[in-house]
């Protein structure tokens, strides 16, 4: 199945680089481009892509506003936010607005491809360079109280959630907890369902908001 993608960035050179990277893959096709958030929303509603790769700092309508608008659509695309190091404040807003992934613009092209495919499968992906920044941001937020759903997690699901909060992949979680990668995948699916979350990125946010992240993280 071909993954349909819309690219949104106000810099033509960046859009061209993204197109070349994505269109060079057998299973990915760029079906539309946009130079600002308003165009991105229009292209997404018209082209019906599976994934929108969205720059966050654009004129007229910024990426966060566009993500928020598309998240309200009945059948919304998965949204991958792009930023640079000087836009840390956009990270939290983008993920809260509905983005399922977050990458830095200078990330390796292979990570972009991995993120697009992960989002299409219903997973999220946050650039490892950004994960630490997420942790720092949430470390300054007072934890929310425990929820009834949270109390339904098994001991193993709680451990998996803590490792997710570290930014680990399923394989890395399996190695840390000495369990099979497939078992980790099942635990992740179960804890997402119990917590009413749609992606592992949202699980990372949830863990930090509720004070469930490991206390030995380097902040």
DSSP state of 1: -
Please give the pLDDT value at position 141.
Answer: 54
Q: Which CATH architecture has domain 3-126?
A: 3-Layer(aba) Sandwich (3.40)
Q: Considering the chain, what percentage of its residues have pLDDT values greater than 90?
A: 48
Answer with the residue of higher pLDDT: 135 or 105. 105
- Lowest mean pLDDT: which of 76-85, 131-140, 150-159? 131-140
User: What are the pLDDT digits (tens) for 13-61?
Assistant: 999 999 999 998 999 999 999 999 999 999 999 999 999 999 998 988 9
Q: Considering the chain, what percentage of its residues have pLDDT values greater than 70?
A: 86
Confidence of residue 87 (pLDDT cuts 50, 70, 90): low
- Domain 143-209 maps to which CATH number in 3.30.70.1450, 3.90.79.10, 1.10.10.10, 3.40.190.170? 1.10.10.10
Backbone dihedral region for residue 98 (phi beyond 0: left; psi -120 to 50: alpha; all else: beta): left
Let me know: does 199 contact 124? Beta carbons within 8 Å: yes
**Across the chain, what does the average pLDDT equal?**
85
Which residues make Cβ contacts (< 8 Å) with residue 160, sequence separation at least 6? Answer: 173, 177, 184, 187, 188, 191
Residue 104: phi and psi, rounded to 5, are: -85, 150
User: What are the pLDDT digits (tens) for 111-136?
Assistant: 999 999 989 988 778 777 776 666 55
Which residues of the chain does CATH 1.10.10.10 include?
A: 143-209
Please give the pLDDT value at position 159.
Answer: 93
């Amino acid at each position: 199945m071909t993954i349909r993608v819309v690219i949104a960035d106000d810099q033509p050179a960046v859009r061209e680089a993204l197109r070349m990277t994505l269109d060079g893959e057998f299973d990915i096709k760029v079906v539309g481009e946009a130079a600002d958030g308003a165009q991105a929303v229009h292209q997404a509603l018209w082209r019906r892509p599976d994934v929108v790769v969205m720059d966050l700092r654009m004129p007229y309508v910024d990426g966060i506003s566009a993500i928020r608008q598309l998240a309200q659509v009945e059948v919304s695309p998965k949204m991958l936010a792009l930023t640079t190091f000087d836009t840390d404040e956009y990270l939290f807003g983008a993920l809260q607005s509905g983005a399922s992934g977050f990458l830095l613009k200078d990330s390796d092209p292979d990570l972009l491809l991995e993120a697009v495919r992960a989002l299409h499968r219903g997973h999220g992906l946050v650039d490892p360079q950004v994960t630490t920044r997420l942790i720092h941001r949430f470390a300054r937020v007072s934890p929310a109280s425990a929820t009834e759903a949270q109390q339904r997690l098994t001991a193993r699901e709680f451990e998996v959630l803590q490792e997710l909060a570290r930014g680990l992949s399923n394989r890395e979680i399996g190695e840390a907890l000495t369990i099979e990668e497939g078992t980790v995948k099942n635990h992740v699916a179960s804890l997402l369902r119990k917590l009413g979350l749609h992606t592992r990125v949202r699980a990372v946010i949830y863990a930090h908001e509720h004070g469930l992240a490991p206390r030995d993280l380097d902040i």
